[in-house]
Amino acid sequence: MMRLKLVPADTKVPFVEYRHIAIGFSTLVVIAAIVVVILKGFNFGIDFKGGTVIEVETAEVADLTDLRTRLNKLDIGEVQLQRFGNDRDVLIRVGTSKTDVSADAGERVVKKVKAELGDSVTYRRIESVGPQVSGELIRAATLAVLVSVAAMFAYIWFRFEWQFGLGAVLSIVHDVMATILVFSLFQLEFNLTTIAALLTIVGYSMNDTVVVYDRMRENLRKYKKMDLGELIDLSLNETLSRTIMTSVTTLLALLSLFIFGGEVIRSFTFAMIFGILIGTYSSIYVAAPVLMAIGITREWGSGRLTRAKPNAGK
């Protein structure tokens, strides 16, 4: 029977040798992320910016120019129109008004648009978020990302050593920054589901990292005299086949969602696909080299399995 082998049985990729290139590249990504976000900011969706989104379906092919003229004369602030999926679906975005900052301004926008368009279109989706709520959502989302990073650090520290925790956190930060960079650079819409995707990426990236770390821990016990670089390479190569396999199955599932899952969650799945790719890279090229840089106390290697039993073994 034909067998699919994504990774040859015995790989000996000298990952550690390339670490300088990788670290250089990753540092560049993080710096670029900070610079780009400062310069370009985010294309925040209404969750974070407030405003109104109305998805309508027109009976005929939508005439955007006509719609734009009709909506602009309503005096409801900045109106953006965009085709959504097919040429009959139109997404109407109305920003928060500068003149009307009251909590229920969105409600009035919806009313006006509905009065203008009437029954000539089908309203598929109406979302309106007030400035008050959007401010709170930004805070909650930022907090959520920080809390999850801290929780991961705590867990890895508990399960391994602090060096591993630090390595894991750096790789998560790297993944989050890289995803943010893409969203800011291409001005993709950044909303609550993007945060959901980010948190999922954090979880996935940790998953990968933990598997590699687990193997390193095992090898540290097994090969007490082996050079750390060699040991990291060995561990990465041993787990490489699994790393690739899992990335592929996850990507298969996500690609199917991206292609067939509909317009509503496309940006959500896009963020996750990107995150899985970058997460796979970072668990190999960020999480492991960080350990190389800060060094590990080889307690497991010396027979001291835990700190609670310092004299065990010898």
Stretch that binds other proteins, among 25-33, 36-44, 129-137, 180-188 (CB under 8 A): 129-137
Stretch that binds other proteins, among 19-27, 144-152, 176-184, 228-236 (CB under 8 A): 144-152
Q: Is 5 in the site for other proteins (CB under 8 A)?
A: yes
C-alpha 189/C-alpha 32 separation (Å) is: 19
Stretch that binds other proteins, among 13-21, 124-132, 286-294, 302-310 (CB under 8 A): 124-132
Q: Which DSSP state fits 97?
A: P
C-alpha 26/C-alpha 285 separation (Å) is: 9
- Member of 34, 101, 259, 305 binding other proteins (CB under 8 A): 259
C-alpha 267/C-alpha 91 separation (Å) is: 15
Please give the single-letter amino acid code of residue 82: Q
Residues 200-229 that bind other proteins (CB under 8 A): 200, 202-204, 206-208, 210-211, 214-215, 218
CB-based burial, 110-122: b 16+ in 10 Å, e otherwise: beebeeebeeebe
- Member of 6, 21, 101, 293 binding other proteins (CB under 8 A): 6
Alpha helices (runs of H) in the chain, residue ranges in sequence order? 19-40, 46-49, 64-72, 105-117, 131-159, 162-185, 192-222, 228-260, 266-285, 287-294
- Member of 140, 293, 294, 312 binding other proteins (CB under 8 A): 140
Q: Quick count: other Cβ atoms within 10 Å of Cβ 275?
A: 26
Q: Is 234 in the site for other proteins (CB under 8 A)?
A: no
Closest-CA residue to 179 (of 155, 156, 145, 153): 145
Residues 275-314 that bind other proteins (CB under 8 A): none
Least distance in angstroms from the C-beta of 68 to other proteins: 22
Stretch that binds other proteins, among 123-131, 174-182, 220-228, 285-293 (CB under 8 A): 123-131
Least distance in angstroms from the C-beta of 125 to other proteins: 5
- Member of 26, 239, 280, 282 binding other proteins (CB under 8 A): 239
Residues 160-179 that bind other proteins (CB under 8 A): none
Q: Cβ distance 58 to 90 under 8 Å?
A: yes
Q: How many residues bind other proteins (CB under 8 A)?
A: 80
C-alpha 43/C-alpha 51 separation (Å) is: 13
- Member of 55, 161, 175, 233 binding other proteins (CB under 8 A): 55
In degrees to the nearest 10, what's the CA dihedral of 186, 190, 195, 197? -50
68 or 159: whose CB is closer to other proteins? Answer: 159
